[in-house]
A and B are shown apart, each in its own frame.
Chain A
Amino acid sequence: SYVLTQPPSVSVAPGQTARITCGGNNIGSKSVHWYQQKPGQAPVLVVYDDSDRPSGIPERFSGSNSGNTATLTISRVEAGDEADYYCQVWDSSSDRHVVFGGGTKLTVL
């Protein structure tokens, strides 16, 4: 089955740029979606189809996907961006279909 690999944690100072990666075999051929989850809250979609943003999501959130790595980039990081971030793909080649990465804890220093 398809596996998505994320770093457990990423730390960044306020105002800097955070990059959270999501690795998978030829992930560039798939569409990748990203969710933000703050403690005690439900996940929120922040990027879909590699690089599109839902309405209401700041332009500071962007995504890219190529080769074996997809990346969520958060520019001008704010304290309120501290959260867990999960990548997700649809894998029709397996019975699982929906695959999530293990999640990355973003810490704002």
Chain B
Amino acid sequence: QVQLVESGGGLVKPGGSLRLSCAASGFTFSDYYMSWIRQAPGKGLEWVSYISSSGSTIYYADSVKGRFTISRDNAKNSLYLQMNSLRAEDTAVYYCARRVGASEVWYFDYWGQGTLVTVSS
């Protein structure tokens, strides 16, 4: 069965860095686009970034562009999110999710359980 397990969250000071990981299993990881989606406490879902199956295509939300870097290691079935220059407003649960569908009909069929990132002094 498909499993996505995030790790790496924690408490970090403003301006600090953190690297999130997502371990995938139960499917051919290298065949799928993957994404990071976050949810601030008590708020809705916000897309953060996605990466193509090969890693050659990457997009970021404006709110994280220039500070966050998404990457993947298909040999290790792992997705990553390097987060630099963290701000209080980056505090959220971060989910990794598998993107599926077809052109203009993209959605997320499996999500991890999430990892909490807290940015506070």
Contacts and interface: CB of A to CB of B under 8 A. Distances in A.
Interface of A: 30-31, 33, 35, 41-45, 48-49, 54, 86, 88, 90, 92, 95-103
Q: Which of B45, B47, B111, B113 has the most CB of A within 10 A?
A: B45
Given A35-B45, A97-B47, A98-B106, 16 more contacts: A42-B114, A43-B95, A45-B107, A45-B108, A48-B105, A48-B107, A49-B101, A86-B44, A86-B45, A88-B45, A95-B59, A97-B50, A97-B59, A98-B37, A100-B44, A100-B46
Interface of B: 35, 37, 44-47, 50, 59, 61-62, 95, 101, 104-109, 111-114
Nearest to A44: B111
Chain B interface mostly helix, strand, loop or mixed? Answer: strand
Contacts of B106: 90, 98
A88 B46 CA distance: 10
Contact of A98 (B44, B50, B114): B50
Given A44-B111, A100-B47, A49 B62 contact: no
Contacts of A99: 47
Given A42-B114, A97-B50, A88 B44 contact: no
Contact of B61 (A44, A86, A88, A96): A96
A20 B25 CA distance: 34
Nearest to B46: A100
Contacts of B50: 97-98
A102 B114 CA distance: 19
Nearest to A54: B109
Nearest to A102: B44
A90 B46 CA distance: 13
Contacts of B108: 33, 35, 43, 45, 88
A47 to B, nearest CB: 9
